[in-house]
Amino acid sequence: MEELTTNLKSTLDRWGEFTEVVLNAISLICIVVGIILSLTSSFRERRRTPGPHPLHTYFRRTFGGWLIVALEIQLAADIVGTIVSPTSQHLIELGAIAVIRTFLNYFLGKELKEERTSPAVVEGKKKMEA
């Protein structure tokens, strides 16, 4: 029975480590894809609606959503990593990382929402519809 338990723990640890690596890879893919799609849509949007908004305004609005998703996936990877090796140090690091990423997600989401509902953005959308 002890051998079965040891084998099961070893297998779960390997799967946990694999899952952590996969989640980090997915997060990185989200960032790269987000950059590419944000740049292309920003250039397209800038050509379509010339005005006072610099190119980075369009980019930030689009990329911010991708960044939020990437941060959430990285947090999941950190949680899996801590489950695999739950030392006191890892738990403290996870707590700090979770707090930092939660604040980043909250304020980034809030900033994106404010940008989408700002009078200049709403006015730009009205001009596009007209």
Domain extent listing, the chain: 2-129
Q: What is the pTM of this model?
A: 0.72
For residues 8 and 50, what is the distance between their CA atoms, to the nearest angstrom?
A: 61
Encode pLDDT of 47-104 as tens digits: 887 777 677 778 888 888 898 899 889 989 988 888 887 788 878 888 888 888 888 8
For residues 58 and 125, what is the distance between their CA atoms, to the nearest angstrom?
A: 12
Whether 44 has a pLDDT exceeding 80, the answer reads: yes
For residues 37 and 70, what is the distance between their CA atoms, to the nearest angstrom?
A: 14
For residues 58 and 36, what is the distance between their CA atoms, to the nearest angstrom?
A: 13
Contact between 66 and 41 under an 8 Å Cβ cutoff? The reply is: no
Q: How many CB atoms lie within 10 A of CB 87?
A: 9
For residues 102 and 73, what is the distance between their CA atoms, to the nearest angstrom?
A: 12
For residues 34 and 21, what is the distance between their CA atoms, to the nearest angstrom?
A: 20
At residue 120 the predicted structure's pLDDT band, cuts being 50, 70 and 90, is low
